[in-house]
């Protein structure tokens, strides 16, 4: 996109009758990314140099620990769908297991409540008078299911809900091997014992009456948000000469004005890469050919600079540039990826994060929110993880949460989802660094 300010500023060189050589020199000086006193944008309409060949996260492998050392799920879920590839779907019709289903109800109860096996049924269901604390309500209350459904229905629904409901958010517990057939028989035996309506005297424990969380924290209070340490670090790094002797500030002398809206227009479709480029990948690729510094995505220095650049755009509204075909196609692909069922748990972004599906319900003690309102605070401090996450890290976590292999941070698919989310969040004000659970 051309910048009108650049055109205005370049004009005097051509109109005030300078000797050709001086005019040429002046033009070169203006074209050079070096000293520009009061930029209107970081590049004043010029194309930012980028390194285009290498990975922006060299040596990345599915994470074992994050940068602050919190553990990261290590299981390999190869064979289940990811945002990069669709795996084989489950069975298409009822399995017709012999009835009645016999099993050990006590063992079934234990399995239903076991958090290590996919989060336990209680993540989404109230299950009678013995329901453990903080049940969720994404799925229906099963307290009287034993009086309502027959054995074959129960077995088949638990084995693979797609046999009876193509759009169910429920994981195909049998088809995706979270439980074996004997275990599902036990679970069904337990479900058949559920015949008494649920009553919880604690309104904060009952998902029907629990109050949604209200966040009153001031994310920009330096004694509140540990990510403010990274803001300081980002400012320092901006001024610090890289391996090539130049710093960001060598070319961008007035970042407060020239980066006022920049991060609010990211991510953008980058024709040279033929895919979407976010702030963090931009930092890596731009620094390689300007300051000479290697700032791999999701490294502490890359995130600190991202915090700084986002913070400079605080208060500006997110306005993704969808003027090119490439950008529009990327946003469309991202929207489609958000509908793809992923991982062993077989869940799509939209299952939990649209109000048409299950947003504003409880997954155990966690409140599900809509996709709108989830972007403008990145990079964000996660209190549960003790670390700052850029938005790509959030995507990686969403993937492993539904037990799908995560991708490298510079994956094309994450760029597309980022573009789709920027579109959904158009008009939201940047407010970074954020602080979230």
Partner 1 sequence: MAEPMKIRAKMEGEFADVKVLMSHPMETGQRKNEKGELVPVHFIQSVIASHNGKTVLDIQWSQAIARNPFLGFRVKGAKAGDKIAIDWTDTAGDKSSIETTVGA
Partner 2 sequence: MKPLRRSVLKLFAASATLAAAGLLGARTAFAAVWNKVGFESKTGADALKSLGVANAAASKDIQITAPEIAENGAQVPVTVLSRIPNTQSISIVIDKNPFPLNSTFEFSNGADSYISTRVKMGQTSSIMALVKADGKFFTASKEVKVTIGGCGG
- Which residues of this chain interact with partner 2, rule CB under 8 A? 73, 75, 115-120, 123-124, 133-134, 136, 204, 213, 239, 249, 253, 256, 345, 362-366, 383-386, 401-403, 437
Q: How many residues does the chain have?
A: 437
Kindly give the interhelix angle for 279-289 and 300-312, rounded to the nearest 10 degrees.
110
- For residue 100, whether the previous peptide bond is cis, meaning omega lies within 30 degrees of 0, is yes
Indicate whether 12 belongs to the interface with partner 1 (CB under 8 A). no
SS (H, E, C) 292-310: CCCCCCCCHHHHHHHHHHH
Q: Return the structure tokens found at 175.
A: 């088809």
Indicate whether 64 belongs to the interface with partner 1 (CB under 8 A). yes
| Nearest C-alpha neighbor of 338 from the set 424, 279, 277 | 424
| CB of residue 274 to partner 2, shortest distance in Å | 34
- Beta carbon nearer to partner 2, 173 or 282: 173
Asked whether 333 and 341 are in contact (CB, 8 A), the reply is: no
- Beta carbon nearer to partner 1, 78 or 383: 383
With CB under 5 to 8 Å by kind, the binding choice for 345 among partner 1, partner 2, none is partner 2
- Beta carbon nearer to partner 1, 130 or 224: 224
| CB of residue 110 to partner 2, shortest distance in Å | 14
Indicate whether 386 belongs to the interface with partner 1 (CB under 8 A). yes
Indicate whether 224 belongs to the interface with partner 1 (CB under 8 A). yes
CA dist 129 to 191, 195, 368, 435, Å? 13, 10, 25, 36
| CB of residue 230 to partner 2, shortest distance in Å | 17
What is the rounded CA–CA span in Å between residue 110 and residue 190? 9
Q: Which residue's structure tokens are 């969040």? A: 425
Choices 218-226, 308-316, 366-374, 399-407 (CB under 8 A): range interacting with partner 1: 218-226
| CB of residue 392 to partner 2, shortest distance in Å | 19
With CB under 5 to 8 Å by kind, the binding choice for 57 among partner 1, partner 2, none is none
Indicate whether 307 belongs to the interface with partner 1 (CB under 8 A). no
- Beta carbon nearer to partner 1, 68 or 78: 68
| Nearest C-alpha neighbor of 432 from the set 296, 308, 326 | 308
Neighbours of 347 (CB within 10 A): 22
Size of the site for partner 1 (CB under 8 A): 15
Choices 203-211, 224-232, 329-337, 359-367 (CB under 8 A): range interacting with partner 1: 224-232
What is the rounded CA–CA span in Å between residue 307 and residue 235? 9
| CB of residue 225 to partner 1, shortest distance in Å | 8
| Nearest C-alpha neighbor of 273 from the set 412, 413, 395 | 412
Indicate whether 373 belongs to the interface with partner 1 (CB under 8 A). no
- Beta carbon nearer to partner 2, 134 or 193: 134
Indicate whether 60 belongs to the interface with partner 1 (CB under 8 A). no
| Nearest C-alpha neighbor of 373 from the set 418, 409, 427 | 427
Indicate whether 75 belongs to the interface with partner 1 (CB under 8 A). no
- Beta carbon nearer to partner 1, 66 or 390: 66
What would the DSSP string read from start to end of 234-275? Answer: HHHHHHS--TTS--HHHHBS-HHHHTTTGGGG-SEEETTTTE
Q: Kindly list the residues in this chain that would bind partner 1 in the complex (CB under 8 A).
A: 64-65, 68-71, 222-224, 226, 228-229, 232, 383, 386
């Amino acid at each position: 996109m051309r910048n009108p300010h650049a055109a205005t500023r370049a004009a005097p060189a051509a109109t005030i009758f300078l000797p050709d050589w001086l005019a040429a020199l002046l033009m070169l000086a203006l074209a050079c990314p070096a000293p520009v006193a009061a930029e209107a944008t970081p590049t004043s309409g010029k194309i930012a140099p980028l390194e285009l060949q290498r990975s922006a996260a060299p040596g990345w492998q599915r994470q074992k620990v994050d940068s602050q050392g919190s553990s990261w799920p290590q299981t390999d879920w190869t064979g289940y769908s990811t945002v990069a590839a669709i795996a084989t779907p489950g069975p298409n019709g009822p399995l017709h297991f012999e009835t009645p289903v016999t099993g050990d109800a006590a063992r079934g109860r234990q399995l239903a409540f076991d958090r290590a096996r996919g989060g336990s049924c209680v993540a989404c269901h109230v299950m009678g008078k013995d329901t453990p604390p903080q049940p969720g309500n994404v799925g229906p209350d099963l307290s009287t299911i034993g009086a309502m459904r027959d054995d074959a229905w129960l077995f088949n629904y638990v084995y693979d809900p797609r046999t009876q409901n193509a759009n169910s958010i429920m994981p195909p517990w049998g088809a995706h091997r979270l439980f074996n057939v004997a275990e599902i028989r036990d679970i069904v035996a337990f479900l058949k014992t559920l015949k008494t309506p649920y009553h919880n005297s604690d309104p904060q424990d009952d998902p029907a009456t629990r109050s949604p969380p209200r966040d009153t924290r001031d994310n920009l209070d330096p004694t509140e948000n540990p990510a403010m340490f990274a803001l300081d670090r980002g400012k320092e790094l901006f001024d610090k000469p890289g391996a090539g002797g130049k710093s960001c500030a060598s070319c961008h002398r007035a970042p407060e004005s020239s980066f006022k809206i920049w991060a609010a227009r990211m991510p953008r479709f980058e024709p040279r890469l033929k895919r979407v480029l976010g702030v963090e990948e931009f930092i890596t690729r731009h620094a390689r050919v300007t300051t000479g510094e290697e700032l791999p995505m999701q490294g502490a220095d890359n995130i600190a600079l991202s915090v700084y650049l986002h913070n400079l755009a605080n208060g500006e509204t997110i306005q993704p540039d969808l003027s090119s075909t490439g950008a529009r196609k990327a946003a469309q692909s991202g929207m489609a990826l958000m509908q793809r069922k992923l991982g062993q748990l077989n869940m799509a972004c939209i299952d939990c994060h649209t109000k048409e599906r299950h947003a504003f319900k409880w997954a155990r003690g966690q409140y599900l929110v809509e996709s709108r309102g989830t972007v403008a605070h990145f990079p964000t401090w996660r209190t549960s993880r003790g670390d700052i996450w850029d938005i790509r890290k959030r995507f990686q976590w969403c993937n492993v949460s539904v037990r799908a292999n995560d991708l490298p941070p510079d994956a094309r698919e994450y760029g597309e989802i980022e573009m789709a989310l920027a579109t959904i969040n158009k008009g939201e004000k940047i407010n970074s660094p954020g602080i979230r659970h």
